[in-house]
Structure 1
Amino acid sequence: MGRVTTRRRVARLTLGAGITRREDTLVVEEPLEIRVGGRSLAVTMRTPGHDVELAAGFLVSEGVISRGEQFASARFCAGDAGVGNTYNVLDVTLAPGVAPPAPELAREFFTTSSCGLCGKASIDAVRTTSAFGVQDDPLRISAETLVGLPDRLRAAQDVFEKTGGLHAAGLYRVADDELLVVREDVGRHNAVDKVVGWALTHDLLPLTGTVLMVSGRASFELTQKALMAGIPMLAAVSAPSSLAVELAIEAGMSVVGFLRGESMVVYAGAQRIVPAQAEGSAA
């Protein structure tokens, strides 16, 4: 696995106090080429670590696989130059009988750390059909529990604590009051793919009764990824996009934004949130 952080000499300037020089910790950003059966599928800019989960989650998001048994193995390999093992090329092997990705899924250029849908030909192409429905998911969560999730996510962000430069995604299971997994990455879509990939490799899909908590905004791509994994609720500390909300309403998914302090804004699926004043009488 490559380095997650690196050290660099920097100059810190403070008005009225001059310049001080010291070393600072930066998060590493490197490309990862994802191949399936030796054929290149996508290149994404990511923070090294949990790359197998990233590839597995990406394949779920693209509708290639939906069950752990369909993901046979993955191995790092040398790039086209054939020089060594840089841990930046990952080749996935699907289980026998699983159809390979359609040729049109291949990304024609880099997916940047800020864009998980770059390379798609049209908005219709990203409305991938999910193998799991969330419309009838029985998830119910108290408002008090929900407002506590950002702090629980932040407490688990070890690399962010050192660098201040990472997005995070966490998967919370309501029935157990447990934050099952937290993943960090320079790309918010990668962090979600790592969470979904973790769930796939633990045979947990569909993720019924869970909340996907993210440290940034609730974009269309994150809503789409949650839906593909069967997650009934997406909660974010920042705003959702209009398309994210439209997709959530269409799919019967809940979207919560501006989850900060003791307040939130519910954009879709408000029936899944139990207000504090009603908790004592909730069934």
Structure 2
Amino acid sequence: MGRVTERRRVIRIRDGAVSTRPDTLVAEEPLEIRLGGKPLAITMRTPGDDFALAAGFLVSEGVLASAAELANIVYCAGATGEGGSNSYNVVDVRLADGVPVPDISLERNVYTTSSCGLCGKASLDAVRTTARWPLDTSPDTPVRIEPATLSTLPDRLRAAQRVFERTGGLHAAALFTTDGELLDIREDVGRHNAVDKIVGRALQQGQLPLSSCVLMVSGRASFELVQKAVMAGIPVLAAVSAPSSLAVDLAVETGLTLVGFLRGTSMNVYAGEHRLALSAAASTD
């Protein structure tokens, strides 16, 4: 349970010299998420924070919005590996009494990989209509962040990635205040899983919506990551790499501030520029 890394023998070649050595790899195992005993999704993830991952996944799906709506999450006793021991790769989520259980059909029963998230569900309307906390799109919104503060977040994210330093094979998601204070960070082989773990922990601690936070992610900003930020009430999403076209469309539709290619003092703002404390009008060149 909770194996984050594993050791493997590798052949190392450096400048023509060949040697053997142990290498530390990030662990990747499947996690089946059940809702009320019924299979809902399977995701490839790094073991650890599995209950938070499941809770965050259900926030992004519009099923959960507060800790009061969650009865409990348990590992299924039937999840057995070799030798009859529990593999801890199946979790079952039980909703609180009175919370409606969504219809789980083949359309909603999804397999998610560590790279793409919910590849089969890319609907702007679905996110817009199910979001519990519509983002404030007014230019007078109190959430403001300095570009200089944004520029510090990638280094702060990287410095807090403990497992990445050992493996070089993990994505990360982190929550910051608008002053750049690190609130939480999670690592996972899948960037969407890292975000789910962040959001799930916030739900468990009664902190949703995260309406005064900035979400920083390694890698690119996909539609799924924008979706997860919107569903958690996060107004600002920043990524070190590029967004997809659909991610930008969703950010514009929902009023999310979306920043990509955040590297040093350089960044591209794709939507929601009213939350950035810009000193001069943007050029149209």
Q: TM-score normalized by structure 2?
A: 0.90
Instruction: Give % identity.
Output: 62
Contact 1:8 1:23 in 2 (8 A): yes
Q: How far has the Cα of 1:125 moved from its partner?
A: 7.8
Counterparts in 2 of 1:161 and 1:5: CA distance versus 1, 3 Å: same
Contact 1:116 1:189 in 2 (8 A): yes
- Partner of 1:236 in structure 2? 239
Which consecutive aligned stretches of 4+ in structure 1 deviate over 6 angstroms post-superposition? none
Alignment size in residue pairs: 275
Can you give the 5+ residue segments of structure 1 that lack an aligned partner in the other structure? 279-283
- Partner of 1:143 in structure 2? 147
Partner amino acid for 1:150? P
Secondary structure class of the residue paired with 2:246:
helix
CA distance in 2, matches of 1:150, 1:143: 13
CA distance in 2, matches of 1:80, 1:257: 40
- Partner of 2:58 in structure 1? 59
Counterparts in 2 of 1:80 and 1:168: CA distance versus 1, 3 Å: closer
Aligned pairs for 1:110-189 within 5 A: 110-120=111-121, 123=123, 127=127, 129-136=130-137, 137-174=141-178, 177-189=180-192
CA distance in 2, matches of 1:104, 1:57: 20
Q: How far has the Cα of 1:81 moved from its partner?
A: 6.4
- Partner of 1:271 in structure 2? 274
CA distance in 2, matches of 1:201, 1:99: 19
Q: How far has the Cα of 1:44 moved from its partner?
A: 0.5
Q: TM-score normalized by structure 1?
A: 0.91
Contact 1:6 1:27 in 2 (8 A): yes
Partner amino acid for 2:234? I
CA distance in 2, matches of 1:106, 1:67: 25
- Partner of 1:262 in structure 2? 265
Contact 1:143 1:276 in 2 (8 A): no
- Partner of 2:95 in structure 1? 94
Contact 1:157 1:168 in 2 (8 A): yes
Q: How far has the Cα of 1:51 moved from its partner?
A: 0.4
CA-atom RMSD, angstroms?
Answer: 2.0
CA distance in 1, matches of 2:212, 2:110: 36
- Partner of 1:29 in structure 2? 28
Note the alpha carbon deviations across 1:195-250, whole angstroms, 9 max, x for none: 00011011111111111100111111000000000000100000111111111111
- Alignment pair present for 1:104 and 2:97: no
Secondary structure class of the residue paired with 1:274:
coil
CA distance in 2, matches of 1:140, 1:3: 39
Contact 2:79 2:89 in 1 (8 A): no
Q: How far has the Cα of 1:69 moved from its partner?
A: 0.9
- Alignment pair present for 1:47 and 2:46: yes
CA distance in 2, matches of 1:183, 1:74: 19
Partner amino acid for 2:103? A
CA distance in 1, matches of 2:174, 2:132: 22
Counterparts in 2 of 1:161 and 1:106: CA distance versus 1, 3 Å: farther
Contact 2:25 2:169 in 1 (8 A): yes
Q: How far has the Cα of 1:106 moved from its partner?
A: 6.3
Aligned pairs for 1:189-208 within 5 A: 189-208=192-211
